[in-house]
Structure 1
Amino acid sequence: MAFTSDDVAALKRAMSKAGNAAEVEYSDGTRTRFLAPKQAAELLAMMEADVTKGSGRRRKRQIRVLTSSGF
Structure 2
Amino acid sequence: NFIFLWYDDPDLFRDIVDTVGDLLYRQTKLYLESGVKFDYAHFWEDICGNNGPLIQPELLRDLAGPHYRR
**Greater share of helix:** 2
* TM-score greater than 0.5 by the shorter chain: no
Larger RCO: Structure 1 or Structure 2 (Cα < 8 Å, ≥ 6 residues apart)? 2
Greater C-alpha radius of gyration: 1
Q: What TM-score does the superposition give when structure 1 sets the normalisation length?
A: 0.33
Q: What TM-score does the superposition give when structure 2 sets the normalisation length?
A: 0.33
**Greater share of strand:** 1
